[in-house]
Amino acid sequence: MRITYVSTYPPTECGIATYTQYLSNSVANYGKEIRVLAQIGAKGNHVFETYAPHDKDIAAKLFFHVERHSPDIVHVEHEFGLFGDQRGVQIVEFLIRCQLADTPVVVTLHTVFEDLKYEEKNILQHILNFSTAIVVHESFQKEILLQTYECPKPIVVIPHGVREVERVKHAKNLLGLEGKQVLLLAGYMRSTKNFEKIIKLMPQLIERNKDLVLLMASRTRINEHSMYKEKLYREIDQMGLKEHVKILYGKFPQYTLDTILSAADVMALPYSKGAQSGVLAQAAAMLLPVVTSELMSFKNWINEVRGGFYASSDDEYVSHISHLLQDDDLRTEFQNNIRENNKKISWTNIASRHIKLYRNLLKSPVAGAQFYFRSESINSGKEILL
């Protein structure tokens, strides 16, 4: 089976780029042929730099490669704004071109909210009309689509995957945090992350947790949201928190980020807006208990996994964070719960669920015809999953 992914891709810094890398690599481990059509700047085996974000002919450029690669399935990782102006309307033309060529297209919708803007709602309805199948990460996102839009094609819920990795040993020592209780804020810095809530609660948290250090490993991309970042750093300075705050800066490639995550006892996710979070998946990979806001995706994860708490007030943030920092047995219980859940949503299992979906979309041209694909890896000595 040959699958062409349409997405951003590393080293482009984007959560969807990382998601696509993990998914496509995991699908490739099953012996499938992979192609990735990405924005200029992407690199890797079978990765093709196809278009710039503001090109006016994105659909034509993408379909040019689809024609030449002849995939069995095209899979679009969709986020508004990735496909040109007007919130990425050119993706609709691309879907129509694939439909005219009788090429099945799966679209994963990474942004499904009830309060989308007019342009976004319009584009989303056309995606629902012209795709072959839709993937979302959360059941509540499927419900939003069914209740708000006409949904002529199947909608499949496949969770965000989690990496199969081990915590970094002696991470606290590596960061000079030995003997400290470490609360982590991490991820790209923007106002919807609501990091200021935790900063404002630090005096109360320090009063209850004398050895507390807030570890901030956040940054902005190309100085976007730089005013927000400067505001946070000013607040830390004005509140006299420097002795209890450790700020890390840098690019944080994966192993560096793993070290940071492994040094933490608890992660706070006080987001005011968002869906399934890549940062939550990173925390889960490192068995890191969390305290989150009441966003639906966070509440669903906590209720299902029992890997942390969600907070509806400042007092609950302080209480939940302190409880987790002070109760070693509770943290261990939550870590075990996360470990068990990770087995179900490892990238290996998530890739298998995608492949099952792809197979179901392949149409036999005549009765009795059988789809046939034999991986070139079978006799290469490389171990593949079947």
Confidence (pLDDT) at 314: 97
Percent of the chain with pLDDT over 90: 80
Based on the domain organization, do 125 and 145 belong to the same domain?
A: yes
Whether residues 155 and 177 share a domain: the answer is no
Based on the fold, state whether residues 157 and 290 are members of the same structural domain: no
Question: pLDDT, tens digit, for every residue of 125-172?
Answer: 999 999 999 999 999 999 999 999 999 999 999 999 999 999 999 999
Which has the closest alpha carbon to 255: 169, 340, 190? Answer: 169
For residue 19, what pLDDT is reported? 95
Q: Are 238 and 91 in a shared domain?
A: no
Cα angle 182-251-219, degrees, rounded to a multiple of 5: 65
Q: What does the DSSP 8-state code read for residue 243?
A: G
Cβ neighbours for 166, distance < 8 A, ≥ 6 positions apart: none
Q: Each residue of 9-25: pLDDT tens digit?
A: 999 888 899 999 999 99
pLDDT of residue 373: 87
58 is a domain residue:
yes
In this structure, the answer to whether residues 311 and 215 fall within a common structural domain is: yes
CATH code assigned at 291: 3.40.50.2000
pLDDT at 40: 95
- Residues 260, 154, single domain; the answer is no
CB 5 within 8 A of CB 362: no
- Coil vs helix vs strand at 246: strand
Q: CA–CA separation, 10 vs 154, rounded Å? A: 30
Total domains present in the chain: 2
Query: Does residue 368 belong to any structural domain of this protein?
Result: no
Within its chain, how far is the Cα of 31 from the centroid?
A: 24
Residues 180 and 238 in one domain: yes
Pairing type for strands 308-310 and 245-248 reads unpaired
- For residue 367, give every residue at least 6 positions away whose Cβ sits within 8 Å of its Cβ, in sequence order, or none: none
Q: 346: helix, coil or strand?
A: strand
How far is the C-alpha of 55 from the C-alpha of 295, rounded, in Å? 35
Same domain, 105 and 252: no
If phi > 0 it is left, if psi is from -120 to 50 it is alpha, else beta; for residue 368 that is: left
∠ CA 30-36-42 to the nearest 5 degrees? 125
**379, part of any domain:** no
Regarding whether 334 and 352 lie in a shared domain, the answer is: no
201 in the same domain as 302: yes
Full DSSP string of 169-187: TTHHHHTT-TT-EEEEEEE
Judge if 88 and 177 occupy the same domain: no
> What is the pLDDT, as a whole number, of residue 275?
61
* Residues 320, 182 share a domain: yes
Q: Convert the pLDDT of each residue in 234-263 to its tens digit.
A: 999 999 998 999 999 888 888 999 999 999
Q: In which domain, by residue range, is 233 found?
A: 171-344
Q: In Å, how far are 37, 46, 74, 221 from 34, measured between CA atoms?
A: 10, 7, 10, 29
Asked whether residue 377 carries a pLDDT value surpassing 70, the answer given is: no
